[in-house]
Amino acid sequence: MTTEMESLKGRLKATWMAGDYGHFAKYLEPSALEFLARLPIQAGTRMLDVACGAGQIAIPAARAGAH
């Protein structure tokens, strides 16, 4: 593995270990919304989101009516 890749891995690990999930959330949001658009969510849909980030899927799902 290149030195550059090792450096990147180190920085990413440090960010995750610091619990700075909001930092990653802004980068993951477009993919999360695309994923959510593929789910048949309606008012009353039950959804379980456990330790899946900063709520990029759970929050928009709740806005769409999921519980």
8-47 confidence digits (pLDDT tens): 999 888 887 887 777 778 888 899 899 999 999 989 999 9
Asked if the structure places residue 47 within a domain, the reply is yes
| Cβ-contact 54, 22 below 8 angstroms | yes
Count of domains in the chain?
A: 1
Burial of 5 (0-12, 13-18, 19+ CB in 10 A): exposed
Asked if the structure places residue 34 within a domain, the reply is yes
Asked if the structure places residue 40 within a domain, the reply is yes
Question: Between these two residues, 15 and 6, which has the higher pLDDT value?
Answer: 6
Q: Which domain holds residue 60?
A: 21-67
- Res 49: pLDDT: 87
